[in-house]
Chain A
Amino acid sequence: MENFTPLSALIGGAMIGLSAVILMAFNGRIAGISGVFSGIAFAQRGDRLWRILFVLGLVVAPIIYQAVSGRAPAFNLAASAPLIIAGGLLVGFGTRLGSGCTSGHGICGLSRLSPRSLVSVLIFMGAGMFTVIAAKAVLGG
């Protein structure tokens, strides 16, 4: 537990919540990243520019953080290329089939007491934990 960072986690989480509230208050939209992002390609015309701008904000945020704080955000990805490809395919397909991800179901859905979101979160958390433990057993580490 030496890497436990509850305070920064709480502050960062609150900012994610603030983002969701702003997007609902002004745009009337759920801040579900998989849905907002895939809609850039698959939503109707006229429903795309706000999505592009939201994603742009998401992409430049780490650069702004780095410019202000002088520190690059920690980013350590240990998985090998085949695992990254498999993981990406599963995340892309799974979030669309399951109508959401950590943000849409985990933050927005749970906060409005959606039964679908509760089931989704319990399942993807369980599947994620199982996969990490299974991968360690198979690949070592």
Chain B
Amino acid sequence: MIRYFTALLAGLIFGLGLVISQMINPEKVISFLDIFGNWDPSLAFVMGGGLIVTAIGYRLVWRKTKPYAADQFQVPTNRAVDKKLAVGAVLFGMGWGLVGLCPGPAIAGLLVGGVPILIFLGAMITGMILFEGLNRLKF
């Protein structure tokens, strides 16, 4: 039961972090990416704050042999940089730049973003389903 509560809590804190940092606002994201325009470096500070807490927190957490409410830590072990990783990052970055939304803010925006966010989420889910379909065909 605890793990369901902590998942809800983690989602809540994540969402509040997106709102307080304004990363939920596509306009803010675009002005971060627009380095030659009226550049707003704020989102670098979002990443900085997140990285400091996570880097220290993960190290403390991993001193234990297993999580408090699960059997094991599930951390990716693949360290090989491959074509899929690179092409995926290019496509994702293009979509991010076109609209100013990445998956976290898009989902957190569901109830506050009106019709545009519904269109974006529909397209994003379609993109994910498309990937799963093609992946099963071993493209």
Contacts and interface: CB of A to CB of B under 8 A. Distances in A.
Nearest to A32: B103
Interface residues of B, number: 118
Contacts of A111: 50-51, 54-55, 58
B128 A92 contact: yes
Which applies to chain B's interface (DSSP): helix, strand, loop or mixed?
helix
Interface in B114-138: 114, 116-117, 119-132, 135
Which applies to chain A's interface (DSSP): helix, strand, loop or mixed?
helix
Interface string B3-44: 110111111111111111111111110110111111111111
A47 B24 CA distance: 27
A76 interface: yes
B25 A76 contact: yes
Interface residues of A, number: 109
Interface string A94-124: 1111110111011111111011100111011
Interface of A: 1-6, 8-31, 33-34, 37-38, 41-42, 49-51, 53-66, 72-79, 81, 83-99, 101-103, 105-112, 114-116, 119-121, 123-133, 135-136
Interface of B: 2-4, 6-28, 30-31, 33-55, 57-58, 60-62, 66-76, 78-81, 84-104, 106-114, 116-117, 119-132, 135
